[in-house]
Structures are given as structure tokens and as C-alpha cells.
């Protein structure tokens, strides 16, 4: 037993020995690198050896417990591997894996991590190959992830989890991945778990026998429902122990909770939540409670999952040249996921083939009904930059309409689906667009499947004039019939990504020709984005003025021909540049930033937040980096609205999150920290290097970040998720672009 225990401990400690350092030191030699397939292959081998060793050394018969149980008696405090008794069993059920001790190997520990270690010492998770993976296996891993900030280290933990699941119970990989990203399916399915705080407290009250009011009081002190639930459960003695939770049973329950509807939905949800809470213990309780609210707060983004999966399967060398055959495992998975962001499809391929090869691009191909991650544009400082960039390339200038991005799909069954920039299904919001799209196809193409990229813009239906973005925001979001539509809109189509076959690898010129050849304009509801191919700087300036006069934000300048003119899913590309009207006024571009903390107001602002700490997002490190404190540009009503918003639910959190990068500046120390929840558009006078802020730290100064001077609030961006906020790289580019 001791022998086995040591082996498993070393299995996990091997991971931390792999020198996956926190990001702040910029990586370094020996750091596991998701982009290096060779190293990934080596690691795969090393890891499966570890499992083999565990298997070989598991030569002690463990008292038979129900397979897969989560135990908390003294015996179970040790990590156990149950040895297969016969050679036959050994061959069929290749491994018995027991994992409990995910915590405590890492040198870096947060307060949370320490709490976790002691809680989880009381339990062990054991299962045999082919049996359901205990939920505890994930929950303990989440505790470990929460205690560190190093992306590489987090990827490594995930990789170890995934490899273990693949080796024992591969069918649990899909629910495990969904639980890690706290989703129930692809975004277009619209299935969300988020239940309100009230219902959760009620369920906890029933579970622990404490009054709702007492729990609310405690909650105010603790600030995190996950922590509260875990401490309540820990102080309770359970006489009858329900069956342990498994990854698949938890995921199934999450779905059932999200789907329950009708008059008794609240009771049903509460009962299901309660059932899960009763069966949970330690870290399980904590992460269940958080998952119910739709926020695990451990910040495992799709990118980390892709990197971990890329390292979980071997990347064979491909001798036949085909699209993707020369890519690393990480790039292949990223490409595949960006054009078909559905975990089910990707995992199905990986589990069937057990390799990451270019076949994944065929499996995860562009498909109608599955929104592709949209291509994005780079900001520029003005016309000169555009001319310089495209000096020897043909390019086109299109009006940049100020509305909502819409990806319009015409499916094989004849239906029309409209997706937002974040892949949410918006079809119910735009019944008028759905109707209009029925006859925009040319006579020869009525049965063609397509994916259009477009901007939906509010218009005055009498004059066909474009209305500001704010008008569009007043439109009802769902349950509207065509007759009830109050704000008329026009679809400005600017790209065609699929027309009976994927077109994203064709250059824009070709895609545009196809768009114009196969569709017919139907004013005022459907029209092509206005554009003009030109290269004279004077002409571009005139066109920019013209677009602004026409109610647009400026111009989109796009490369027309060559490999750089393909459609790049999810990429903020150099081959699409945006030139905004602000440049005409000598202003910088606006930024989309995330409020991560608040300062209580004084004087006239007593009782509300008077200022906020804003951060940009660094997609590389998956962290939020502070860039300014803002207190200007808000109306009184807005300040009240924001105070109510952040005080609602548990958007105020107990302390700074591990992935909020804060300089520690005493003058910036906020009164409260927020859950990252909204994106605000902000304008500033200029950008400056600052020791107090951490945005793009190390890019223009080794120790200082970039901050916004005289920031001013413009508006909320309801169409943005915090992870779509301006990136550190964009902030650095804006800083460098200043005169």
C-alpha cells in the first residue's frame, strides 16, 4: 500500500517537477510547451509510464470497496490502486487508477490551496478502468488549478487529468471537458446552468439544516458560495452516505437542471441541486456550488483545454502533404476548433483515432448550423498605416457599420439561423431578418447552404438611413414576432464563408464575387456592404469621410488577393485593418475593458461606487491586467445601475482572483473586487507607461505596464464577453502608434 501511495504521489509530483513555471518569468528552458509536438510526445510517454508503474507496483490487495467510491475513512486516506487479480483482467482492464493527492505538490500555494489540502486529505477517489470517473478527481484538480497562475502548469494539470481519463474511462472525457469549461454544450445550443443565488442558498439550507437567513449572513462574510457550501458541508456529519458522484452523473444532472422548465422548475432545480450537494464532500461541494452559478472561478479557458488535449495524444509525423500536415498538435486543434467550435466533434475524433493529425481538420470542418469563430480586425492609427501595409497589395475599403455582427446560416433543411459574435443563437431576436433571408438567394441557388458574415444595423425604414448602435440595443432580445418588431434593421453582408462548400481558404476577392453572384440585394433589409477597391491615400481619406457621413464608424480595409486574403477564424488579423472616424478627430481608438474592482463613492457619490478599476485581457496568459482607474463619463443613473449590478448576486468577491494581475500599488487598492462580468467601452486622452498598472507589462518597459490617461466611460458592450475585451497586445500597439 505504501509503495503504491508513493508511486502515485510521484506521478503527480513528476508533473510539477516538469518546471512548468508561472507565466511571470516568461517560461524558460524545460518548460512544457504546447506548441512543441516532439516534447509533447516525450511527455506522453513519460506519463503513461507512470501509470504503468503504478499498475506494476500495485501488488497489494486493497480491501474491496465499491469500485469508484470516494472514501473518507482512515484507510481511504491513502491513495489506492486495486490490482487486477488475473492476467486476463489485466489485459482487458488495462489499468486501475486511483488518484487522490492532486494537491500539495506544487510549491506555490494560495490561501485557498491550503484550505483545500486539509479538506481533501479526508478523502480518496478510486476507480477501475471502464468505471465512471469520480467527480472528486476533477474537483481536487480544480483546487490545484485555482492555487496557481502559471498557464503552463495549469495545462499540465489538465493534461494529466485528460490522459488518466483517456486511459481508464475514455467515454468520460467529454463530460469532463465540459465540466472544466463550465458549459453544457456548444454555445449555439443555448443551454446554461447558471442558477440564482437564492435557489442555491435554499438548497444549501435544506442540505445543512441551517436557516436561509443564517446562510445569507455567512455568505456576506465569506463572499463565495462555493467556500460557504464547502465549510457548511464539512461541519456536518452524514449518517447515511449516498453513492459517490461521478463525472458523468454530475454532468447529466447539470443538464437536467438547465433544462428544467415550467411551473415547478424552481422546485425541481432545487431538489436536484440538493441531491448533488448531499452526495458531495470537500472540494466537490465547493466546485459544485460554483458550477451551479455558472462560474467555476478557476478560469480554464478553451485555449488551455486545447493545449492540454494537444499534449494528451501523440502527434505522428505525416508523410503525405495535405492541409495541416505540417502543423503542431496545438495549432491543428486550435484551427479545427476555431472552424468548428464543438467539443463533441473534436473529442470524438481524438478518442477514435488516439492521435492528433491533420484528419482533425476534416472531422471538425466548417458546417452550416455550427457558428465559426469570427475573424477580427486590427486597429490602425490612420490612413498612412493602411497605405504602408498594403503598398504593394490589392486591397478594398468597406464601410464599417456600427451594429451587431451576425453570422447567417442557411441549413440543408432550409432553415435560417443567426448567430452573434459569441456564437449565441440570435434567431429569435431577428424574425424579420429570418423572413427576409428567405428570398435573397439568386434563382439558381435557392437550395444552397451558406454562411454569410454580416453586420445587422438599425435603420429608419422610411428613409433607409442608418441609426446609431444604441437604437439597436433597444430591440427586444427574444419572443418577438415580425409584427412586433419596433426597430427595423438592415443586414449588410460583407463576406461569404460557405456556399455548398467551405470558402474560407479562398481569397476575399473570390469570396466577394461569389457573394455578389449568388445573392440579390433586397433593400431595405438585405444589402452588400458598401466598398471600393482603391489605393490612393487621398481617395481613402475621402471615402472615410463619406462613410462617416453615411452613419458608419469608419472603414474596414481588407487584403483582396493572395494567401493573406483568406478568412482567418478567431484571428485579429493584420489583413483586416479598421480605420475609425475618431482618427479624423485626432482621437485614439476606444478600448473595451473589464471592471474588476470598485471604489466606494464619496460626497455626491456616497452609497454607490464612485470609481472602478479596469483591466484588459491577456489571451496568452489568460489573465486580466489593470490599465486604469475610471471615475469619469458616468451619469448618476449609470453609477446607480452599476452599483446595483455589482452588488447583485455574488459579483463582489472575497478577494483578488489569482488571474487578476495587480501591481500592489497602495493608491489603487480597491474597496472590493468584482467577478469579471461586463465589458465597457472607454476612451482616453492617450496612453502612458505606468508603474501602477500591469497592462502589457514587460512589452515597452520591463517592469511597468501601460495605462490610460484621463479615461472616460462611453458605453457598456453587451455584445462582448470579458475574454473578448481589448488585449494587452492591442494596448501595446496603441501605445506604440501614438505620435
Q: How far is the CB of 516 from ligand ATP (least distance, A)?
A: 14
Given the complex with ligand ATP, which of 436 and 466 has the nearer CB atom? 466
Q: Where would I find the H helices in 452-501?
A: 469-473
Q: Which stretch binds ligand ATP (CB under 6 A): 80-88, 155-163, 246-254, 395-403?
A: 395-403
Q: Where would I find the H helices in 504-635?
A: 508-518, 537-549
Given the complex with ligand ATP, which of 257 and 577 has the nearer CB atom? 577
Question: Please, is 455 exposed, middle or buried when counting C-beta atoms within 10 Å of its C-beta (0-12, 13-18, 19+)?
Answer: buried
Give the residue from 292, 254, 551 showing the smallest Cα distance to 399.
Answer: 551
Subset of residues 17 to 76 that bind ligand ATP, contact rule: CB under 6 A: none
Name, in order, each residue with C-beta under 8 angstroms of 408's C-beta and a sequence gap of 6 or more.
416, 417, 418, 419, 433, 437, 450, 451, 452, 454, 491, 493
Instruction: List strand residue ranges (DSSP E) for 243-296, in order.
Output: none
Given the complex with ligand ATP, which of 37 and 722 has the nearer CB atom? 722
Binding flag, residue 137, ligand ATP (CB under 6 A): no
Binding flag, residue 629, ligand ATP (CB under 6 A): no
Q: How far is the CB of 210 from ligand ATP (least distance, A)?
A: 46
Q: Is residue 528 within 8 Å of residue 516, measured between CB atoms? A: yes
Given the complex with ligand ATP, which of 184 and 540 has the nearer CB atom? 540
Given the complex with ligand ATP, which of 578 and 657 has the nearer CB atom? 578
Sign, Cα dihedral of 274, 276, 282, 283: negative
Cα distances (Å, whole numbers) of residue 469 to 62, 632, 637: 66, 22, 20
Given the complex with ligand ATP, which of 528 and 600 has the nearer CB atom? 528
Phi, psi (degrees; rounded to nearest 5) at 277: -65, -40
Q: Which stretch binds ligand ATP (CB under 6 A): 14-22, 179-187, 346-354, 393-401?
A: 393-401
Q: How far is the CB of 719 from ligand ATP (least distance, A)?
A: 7
Name, in order, each residue with C-beta under 8 angstroms of 78's C-beta and a sequence gap of 6 or more.
1, 2, 5, 124
Binding flag, residue 398, ligand ATP (CB under 6 A): yes
Helix (H) or strand (E) holding 379: strand 376-379
**Share in percent of the chain as helix, strand, coil (round to 5):** 40, 20, 40
User: How is 321-359 classified by DSSP, letter by letter?
Assistant: --TTTTS-HHHHHHHHHHHS--HHHHHHHHHHH-S--TH
Among residues 409, 578, 651, 704, the one that binds ligand ATP under rule CB under 6 A: 578
Binding flag, residue 101, ligand ATP (CB under 6 A): no
Q: How far is the CB of 74 from ligand ATP (least distance, A)?
A: 56
Given the complex with ligand ATP, which of 184 and 593 has the nearer CB atom? 593
Residue sitting closest to ligand ATP (CB)? 376
Q: How far is the CB of 403 from ligand ATP (least distance, A)?
A: 7
- Given the DSSP bridges, would you call strands 572-580 and 554-559 parallel, antiparallel or unpaired? antiparallel
- Distance of alpha carbon 674 from alpha carbon 318, whole angstroms: 48
Query: Which grid coordinates belong to 314?
Result: 501523440
Query: Which grid coordinates belong to 463?
Result: 428613409
Among residues 81, 332, 540, 556, the one that binds ligand ATP under rule CB under 6 A: 556
Given the complex with ligand ATP, which of 144 and 400 has the nearer CB atom? 400
Subset of residues 201 to 260 that bind ligand ATP, contact rule: CB under 6 A: none
Among residues 20, 173, 283, 377, the one that binds ligand ATP under rule CB under 6 A: 377
Show the binding pattern over residues 468-497: x = contacts ligand ATP (CB under 6 A), - = does not.
Answer: --------------------------x---
Chain centroid offset of residue 401 CA: 26
Subset of residues 498 to 537 that bind ligand ATP, contact rule: CB under 6 A: 529
Given the complex with ligand ATP, which of 564 and 689 has the nearer CB atom? 564
N-terminal to C-terminal alpha carbon distance within the chain: 68
Q: How far is the CB of 466 from ligand ATP (least distance, A)?
A: 11
Among residues 297, 405, 512, 605, the one that binds ligand ATP under rule CB under 6 A: 405
Q: How far is the CB of 672 from ligand ATP (least distance, A)?
A: 28
Q: Is residue 351 within 8 Å of residue 340, measured between CB atoms? A: no
Binding flag, residue 401, ligand ATP (CB under 6 A): yes
Sign, Cα dihedral of 340, 341, 345, 349: positive
- Distance of alpha carbon 673 from alpha carbon 115, whole angstroms: 21
Given the complex with ligand ATP, which of 254 and 450 has the nearer CB atom? 450
CA count, 13 A, side-chain hemisphere, 503 = 21
Residues in the chain, overall count:
739
Given the complex with ligand ATP, which of 399 and 498 has the nearer CB atom? 399
**388 three-state secondary structure:** helix
Among residues 153, 281, 455, 676, the one that binds ligand ATP under rule CB under 6 A: 455
Q: What are the beta bridge partners of residue 397? A: 532, 557
Q: How far is the CB of 422 from ligand ATP (least distance, A)?
A: 11
Q: Where would I find the H helices in 478-533?
A: 508-518
Cα distances (Å, whole numbers) of residue 627 to 48, 515, 683, 738: 44, 41, 12, 17
Give the residue from 537, 540, 515 showing the smallest Cα distance to 526.
Answer: 515
Q: How far is the CB of 449 from ligand ATP (least distance, A)?
A: 22
CA count, 13 A, side-chain hemisphere, 268 = 13
Give the residue from 485, 364, 382, 474 showing the smallest Cα distance to 436.
Answer: 485
Q: Which stretch binds ligand ATP (CB under 6 A): 28-36, 399-407, 541-549, 561-569?
A: 399-407
Cα distances (Å, whole numbers) of residue 11 to 79, 148, 308: 12, 19, 17
Among residues 1, 301, 376, 564, the one that binds ligand ATP under rule CB under 6 A: 376
Q: How far is the CB of 589 from ligand ATP (least distance, A)?
A: 7
Given the complex with ligand ATP, which of 13 and 422 has the nearer CB atom? 422
Helix (H) or strand (E) holding 637: helix 636-647
- What are the catalytic residues? 400
CA count, 13 A, side-chain hemisphere, 52 = 6
Q: Which stretch binds ligand ATP (CB under 6 A): 247-255, 398-406, 410-418, 688-696?
A: 398-406
Please count the residues of this chain forming the interface with ligand ATP, following the rule CB under 6 A: 13
Q: Which stretch binds ligand ATP (CB under 6 A): 251-259, 289-297, 365-373, 397-405?
A: 397-405
Q: Is residue 151 within 8 Å of residue 88, measured between CB atoms? A: no
Given the complex with ligand ATP, which of 376 and 692 has the nearer CB atom? 376
* Site residues (vs ligand ATP, CB under 6 A): 376-377, 398-401, 405, 421, 455, 494, 529, 556, 578
Amino acid at each position: 500500500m505504501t509503495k503504491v501511495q508513493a508511486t502515485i504521489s510521484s506521478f503527480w509530483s513528476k508533473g510539477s517537477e516538469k518546471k512548468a513555471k508561472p507565466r511571470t518569468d516568461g517560461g524558460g528552458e524545460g518548460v512544457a510547451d504546447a506548441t512543441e509536438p516532439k516534447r509533447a510526445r516525450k511527455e506522453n510517454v513519460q506519463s503513461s509510464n507512470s501509470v504503468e508503474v503504478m499498475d506494476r507496483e500495485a501488488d497489494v490487495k486493497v480491501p474491496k470497496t465499491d469500485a469508484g467510491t470516494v472514501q473518507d475513512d482512515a484507510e481511504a486516506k491513502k491513495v489506492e490502486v486495486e490490482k487486477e487479480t488475473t492476467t486476463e483482467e489485466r489485459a482487458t482492464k488495462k489499468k486501475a487508477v486511483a488518484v487522490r493527492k492532486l494537491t500539495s505538490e506544487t510549491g506555490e500555494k494560495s490561501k485557498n490551496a491550503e484550505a483545500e489540502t486539509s479538506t481533501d486529505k479526508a478523502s480518496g477517489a478510486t476507480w477501475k478502468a471502464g468505471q465512471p470517473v469520480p467527480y472528486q478527481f476533477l474537483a481536487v484538480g480544480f483546487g490545484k488549478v485555482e492555487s496557481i497562475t502559471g498557464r503552463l502548469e495549469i495545462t499540465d494539470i489538465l493534461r494529466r487529468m485528460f490522459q488518466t481519463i483517456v486511459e481508464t474511462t475514455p467515454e468520460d472525457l467529454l463530460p469532463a471537458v465540459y465540466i472544466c469549461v463550465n458549459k453544457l454544450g456548444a454555445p449555439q445550443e443555448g443551454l446554461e446552468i447558471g442558477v440564482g443565488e437564492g435557489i442555491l442558498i435554499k438548497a444549501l439550507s435544506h442540505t445543512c439544516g441551517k436557516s436561509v437567513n443564517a446562510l445569507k449572513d455567512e455568505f456576506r462574510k465569506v463572499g463565495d458560495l462555493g467556500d460557504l457550501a464547502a465549510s457548511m458541508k464539512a461541519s456536518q456529519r452524514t449518517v447515511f452516505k449516498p453513492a459517490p458522484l461521478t463525472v458523468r452523473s454530475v454532468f447529466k444532472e447539470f443538464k437536467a437542471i438547465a433544462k428544467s422548465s415550467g411551473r415547478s422548475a424552481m422546485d425541481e432545480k432545487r431538489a436536484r441541486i440538493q441531491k448533488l450537494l448531499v452526495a458531495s464532500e470537500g472540494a466537490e461541494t465547493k466546485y459544485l456550488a460554483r458550477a451551479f452559478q455558472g462560474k467555476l472561478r478557476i478560469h480554464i479557458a478553451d485555449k488551455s483545454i486545447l493545449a492540454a488535449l494537444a499534449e494528451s495524444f501523440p502527434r505522428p509525423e505525416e508523410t503525405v502533404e495535405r492541409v495541416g500536415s505540417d502543423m503542431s498538435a496545438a495549432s491543428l486543434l486550435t484551427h479545427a476548433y476555431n472552424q468548428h467550435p464543438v467539443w463533441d466533434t473534436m473529442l470524438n475524433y481524438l478518442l477514435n483515432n488516439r492521435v492528433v493529425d491533420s484528419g482533425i481538420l476534416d472531422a471538425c470542418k466548417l458546417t452550416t448550423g455550427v457558428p465559426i469563430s469570427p475573424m477580427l480586425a486590427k486597429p490602425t492609427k490612420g490612413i498612412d498605416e493602411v497605405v504602408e501595409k498594403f503598398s504593394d497589395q490589392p486591397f478594398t475599403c468597406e464601410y464599417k457599420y456600427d451594429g451587431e455582427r451576425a453570422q447567417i446560416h442557411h441549413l440543408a433543411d432550409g432553415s435560417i439561423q443567426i448567430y452573434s459574435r459569441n456564437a449565441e443563437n440570435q434567431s429569435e431576436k431577428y424574425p424579420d431578418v429570418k423572413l427576409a433571408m428567405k428570398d435573397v438567394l439568386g434563382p439558381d441557388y435557392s437550395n444552397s447552404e451558406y454562411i454569410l458574415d454580416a453586420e445587422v444595423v438599425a435603420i429608419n425604414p422610411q428613409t433607409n438611413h442608418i441609426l446609431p448602435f444604441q437604437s439597436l440595443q433597444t430591440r427586444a432580445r427574444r419572443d418577438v414576432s415580425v409584427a412586433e418588431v419596433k426597430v427595423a434593421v438592415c443586414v449588410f453582408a460583407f463576406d461569404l464563408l460557405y456556399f455548398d462548400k467551405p470558402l474560407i481558404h479562398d481569397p476575399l476577392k473570390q469570396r466577394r464575387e461569389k457573394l455578389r453572384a449568388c445573392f440579390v440585394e433586397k433593400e431595405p433589409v438585405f444589402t452588400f456592404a458598401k466598398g471600393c477597391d482603391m489605393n490612393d491615400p487621398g481617395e481613402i481619406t475621402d471615402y472615410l469621410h463619406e462613410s462617416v457621413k453615411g452613419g458608419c464608424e469608419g472603414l474596414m480595409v481588407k487584403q483582396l488577393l493572395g494567401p493573406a486574403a483568406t478568412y482567418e477564424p478567431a484571428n485579429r488579423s493584420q489583413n483586416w485593418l479598421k480605420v475609425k472616424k475618431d482618427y479624423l478627430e485626432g482621437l485614439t481608438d476606444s478600448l473595451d475593458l473589464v471592471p474588476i474592482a470598485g471604489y466606494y463613492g464619496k460626497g455626491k457619490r456616497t452609497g454607490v461606487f464612485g470609481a472602478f478599476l479596469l483591466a484588459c485581457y491577456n489571451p496568452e496568459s489568460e489573465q486580466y491586467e489593470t490599465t486604469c482607474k475610471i471615475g469619469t463619463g458616468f451619469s448618476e443613473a449609470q453609477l446607480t445601475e452599476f452599483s446595483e449590478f455589482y452588488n447583485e448576486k455574488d459579483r463582489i468577491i472575497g478577494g483578488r482572483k489569482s488571474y487578476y494581475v495587480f501591481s500592489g500599488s497602495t493608491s489603487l487598492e480597491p474597496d472590493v473586487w468584482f467577478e469579471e462580468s461586463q465589458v465597457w467601452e472607454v476612451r482616453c486622452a492617450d496612453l502612458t507607461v505606468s508603474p501602477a498598472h500591469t497592462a502589457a507589462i514587460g512589452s515597452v518597459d520591463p517592469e511597468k505596464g501601460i495605462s490610460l490617461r484621463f479615461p472616460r466611460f462611453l458605453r457598456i458592450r453587451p455584445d462582448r464577453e470579458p475574454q473578448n475585451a481589448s488585449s494587452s497586445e492591442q494596448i501595446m500597439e496603441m501605445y506604440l502608434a501614438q505620435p
